[in-house]
Chains A and B, each alone.
Chain A
């Protein structure tokens, strides 16, 4: 019996060695510092757009007689950037590096660094995947969600133009494993149905919401309550996928443009629906396969809906709130906020470059405003009108994956990224997944604002993850390391604040906690630092982007 156990342990060991050997070596951050496609922050064209965006907001504030908040400090902006682009907070290591670099334009340089960071590629890929295929596991015979997420991450890394990315999602053929983009279609296949057809209706809903930012799918069952969409618009869109199904060669199309057959809700009879687009049908190419025609129409640079939908989504991911809400409900024919139009036009005019879009949004004045009243302006107050007009950074509750990412990073003084040891990364990944599953993963609806709940608060106060990541564990936890390494009480408090809240304590806070630490040693000190980290994690500031 013991021989078998020994063999098992041996095999496990071999497995681990193999995995470790096949890991990409640290330091191979191949894409770090690779020259960026598209315009950089410095060029005139970029500055021109940025100025127009800023001017649009300023005009709105002036019209509404609103005094905006003062600019936020760089550390806070860096925290927002890390949360928005990577779902975590800056590590102490990153805070120190940022503070050591020359103040002029250091945030712009930091954004450049993030855009070539694997954490950004993976995080944004997952967010996009949720818009395209939701978060559920789907039909496992035909569908490989992780392949799709991996592929999206690679596209972000390579700076693939967004229109090309979407065209590939709509038009690609082949197997889910070798042609990852086909998973966009494959996830809708119902394995219980004969012929393994894609679900045209699900696809029409996804195309309209994710790529066009309109909810034509409400017209699936009824004409939209206050929209111009008709049921026929929805069915016409669905009909582009009528001939697409899983075949022996993977996802492919039946020859000829098959019409969609739908059961009429009133008569119950089958009727045939031809492929048609809901608006601007003059831009729909006449030649080509159904999916190619649809893709060309969707990604046409003149299709305002396409560039506005993704612009609004990226804005919402970064700010926690879209310029238009809900994020996929840009009503047809209704005016959009000027900033959205300016950014979307710039996006379409510059090769659908997502990185340029992220740079523009994060360089904008509104992204760098504070969320609190400007003390230099007597009687200044941040009202709901300020927040609605973006005259102050809006307080937004962190999404569950951001909370998990922030806790993990707050508990580690070093940056948790690709260079982190594989086993630690695995542990972090597992802990984060368990946390989000229990905390509540909103899946597709992650950009919808929902209230905090008591179970969530209980998890942060008493839950396993916060306890494990704050308790005395000098090997891993920031709290214990600070207790051991900080030169004095003042430094200990300051480092804890920087690691958890990305800021220094205010004088009253410093006084309060330094006094508590005075004269404590070893175990007691470790427990006090544990308490301090717990306290900071349970502050309102930690759970809300601000």
Chain B
């Protein structure tokens, strides 16, 4: 039952559910240490110089636009117009000279100078579930340990701040939302649907007076149960959980889910779709200190009729991602937020007999923007004839994770202990220097 203490409200608790602490112990200790050692050693001076050389603060939040099913790189971020593998798909120029996106990204293309593209991702996972696990955690599935998703890592590593609501949120979540894994299930993403609708489970089904009476009654029942087992009952943390749940139910920050409070014109710029509203909610959520928001857009698994389906999905994605990037930039939030956009793998360069494309983990794309990520940069390329990339030619998912973690000010080599007593790094990859400014 010791493992349950993690929902306690100790000041170092960084779970997405933890309350804002009175002060940040780590920061305080750091200040203390620096103050004590500062004038004793020359190391402090070196540190101070280094801090000056790094002008920007690391990003504080992550928005993951998850394209579930595996988007076709050729119809999204890595077009090869005029080649046979394009199968007739067209491309358009962008704000970055010499870089094209697939037709349909008219709005995003105007802002590509604030985003980087990785076009040579390579993995060994061609199955939806395994691929999703890999891209969300940075690790291949392993029967002995469940790795935390990158959103859970953000919640675990970054400051709690004054956030009262869940700090890991999955909007329009599908089968495999981000999970806490070895960090604990309190880091699992809170799942919610179209922001147009009520957030599930967060509002009581009865009025406040009845809820108060029910909770008072519930204490009567719990008191009867605690006779002769007070210690065990306390270790269940039932009472603090209910208190925390109550606090969340009444938090003013819940308003961050209410996208309808935004001006109509702004809402329209994201597109009048569940995904567009999800992206808008993501911006509102990170404004109140949510560390990771995952917004899912499904329907990319185009084994048949690839071109039409991808085009139709892009029509939803383009205004949403462009609206999000523009909105973040306008509010000065892009500096503090990393946006990732991609899916579990790409799709085959060859078009099958049903005019579809199948799973292809041997060279696919992901868009990354914000924080220290170099806008307008393109990393890697795929073969114009559609040959698969070898691991040596490609970028690994682990390296991509290490890069994003670095941009968030998190040390990828930091180790957490798995239950089996094996230390696990947050990412086994190396940060990609070319992606960071």
B244 contact set on A, CB distance < 8 A: 454, 457
Determine if B232 is an interface residue (Cβ-Cβ < 8 Å): yes
- Min Cβ gap A269→B in Å is 17
A464 contact set on B, CB distance < 8 A: 200
Determine if A64 is an interface residue (Cβ-Cβ < 8 Å): no
CA distance in complex: A383, B206 (Å): 39
Determine if A540 is an interface residue (Cβ-Cβ < 8 Å): yes
CA distance in complex: A132, B144 (Å): 15
In the complex, which of the residues B166, B206, B229 contacts A395, with contact meaning CB atoms closer than 8 Å? B229
Determine if B310 is an interface residue (Cβ-Cβ < 8 Å): no
A333 contact set on B, CB distance < 8 A: none
Q: List 25 A-B contacts (CB under 8 A).
A: A190-B127, A192-B359, A217-B144, A218-B420, A382-B232, A448-B419, A452-B238, A454-B248, A455-B191, A457-B242, A458-B248, A461-B201, A462-B204, A463-B200, A506-B224, A509-B224, A535-B214, A535-B218, A536-B221, A538-B214, A538-B242, A539-B222, A540-B238, A541-B222, A544-B236
CA distance in complex: A159, B416 (Å): 45
Determine if A61 is an interface residue (Cβ-Cβ < 8 Å): no
Determine if B6 is an interface residue (Cβ-Cβ < 8 Å): yes
Interface residue ranges of B6-32 to A (CB < 8 Å): 6-7, 17
Docked-complex contact B248 and A225, CB < 8 angstroms: no
Q: With A372-B227, A375-B228, A451-B4 in contact, is A458–B191 under 8 Å at CB?
A: no
Count chain A residues whose beta carbon lies closer than 8 angstroms to a beta carbon of B.
66
Docked-complex contact A454 and B420, CB < 8 angstroms: no
B236 contact set on A, CB distance < 8 A: 395, 397, 452, 540, 543-544
Determine if A508 is an interface residue (Cβ-Cβ < 8 Å): yes
Docked-complex contact B204 and A461, CB < 8 angstroms: yes
CA distance in complex: A209, B210 (Å): 49
Determine if B184 is an interface residue (Cβ-Cβ < 8 Å): yes
User: What residue of chain A has the Cβ atom nearest to residue B184's Cβ?
Assistant: A451
Determine if B203 is an interface residue (Cβ-Cβ < 8 Å): yes
Determine if B185 is an interface residue (Cβ-Cβ < 8 Å): yes
Docked-complex contact A453 and B232, CB < 8 angstroms: no
CA distance in complex: A458, B186 (Å): 13
Docked-complex contact A540 and B359, CB < 8 angstroms: no
Q: With A451-B4, A453-B185 in contact, is A512–B220 under 8 Å at CB?
A: yes
Interface residue ranges of A366-403 to B (CB < 8 Å): 370-375, 381-384, 387, 395, 397
Docked-complex contact A438 and B224, CB < 8 angstroms: no
Interface residue ranges of A497-546 to B (CB < 8 Å): 505-506, 508-509, 512-513, 516, 527, 531-532, 534-536, 538-541, 543-544, 546
Docked-complex contact A457 and B241, CB < 8 angstroms: yes
Determine if B385 is an interface residue (Cβ-Cβ < 8 Å): no
Determine if B288 is an interface residue (Cβ-Cβ < 8 Å): no
B129 contact set on A, CB distance < 8 A: 136
CA distance in complex: A387, B110 (Å): 64
CA distance in complex: A445, B144 (Å): 10
User: What residue of chain A has the Cβ atom nearest to residue B216's Cβ?
Assistant: A535
- Min Cβ gap B153→A in Å is 17
B4 contact set on A, CB distance < 8 A: 451-452
Interface centre among A370, A374, A384, by most chain B C-beta atoms within 10 angstroms, is A384
CA distance in complex: A508, B218 (Å): 13
User: What residue of chain B has the Cβ atom nearest to residue A508's Cβ?
Assistant: B224
Determine if B205 is an interface residue (Cβ-Cβ < 8 Å): yes
Cβ-closest 4 pairs across A and B: A372-B228, A540-B238, A373-B228, A458-B201
- Min Cβ gap A312→B in Å is 17
- Min Cβ gap B233→A in Å is 6
CA distance in complex: A133, B3 (Å): 27
- Min Cβ gap A322→B in Å is 14
CA distance in complex: A321, B241 (Å): 23
Docked-complex contact B228 and A382, CB < 8 angstroms: yes
A381 contact set on B, CB distance < 8 A: 231
Seed contacts A382-B229, A461-B204, A531-B213; 12 additional CB < 8 Å A-B pairs: A192-B359, A215-B420, A371-B232, A381-B231, A382-B232, A387-B232, A395-B232, A451-B7, A455-B191, A462-B201, A508-B224, A535-B218
CA distance in complex: A461, B245 (Å): 9
B146 contact set on A, CB distance < 8 A: 445
- Min Cβ gap A125→B in Å is 22
- Min Cβ gap A96→B in Å is 22
A51 contact set on B, CB distance < 8 A: none
- Min Cβ gap B293→A in Å is 15
- Min Cβ gap A100→B in Å is 26
Determine if A440 is an interface residue (Cβ-Cβ < 8 Å): yes
Determine if B318 is an interface residue (Cβ-Cβ < 8 Å): no
User: What residue of chain B has the Cβ atom nearest to residue A384's Cβ?
Assistant: B1
CA distance in complex: A531, B126 (Å): 50
Q: With A190-B127, A462-B205, A540-B238 in contact, is A450–B222 under 8 Å at CB?
A: no
CA distance in complex: A202, B231 (Å): 42
User: What residue of chain A has the Cβ atom nearest to residue B187's Cβ?
Assistant: A453
What does the 1/0 interface line of A158-198 toward B look like (CB < 8 Å)? Answer: 00000000000000000000000000000000101000000
Determine if B237 is an interface residue (Cβ-Cβ < 8 Å): yes
Interface residue ranges of B176-204 to A (CB < 8 Å): 184-186, 188, 190-191, 200-204
A387 contact set on B, CB distance < 8 A: 232
What does the 1/0 interface line of A210-229 toward B look like (CB < 8 Å)? Answer: 00000101100000011000
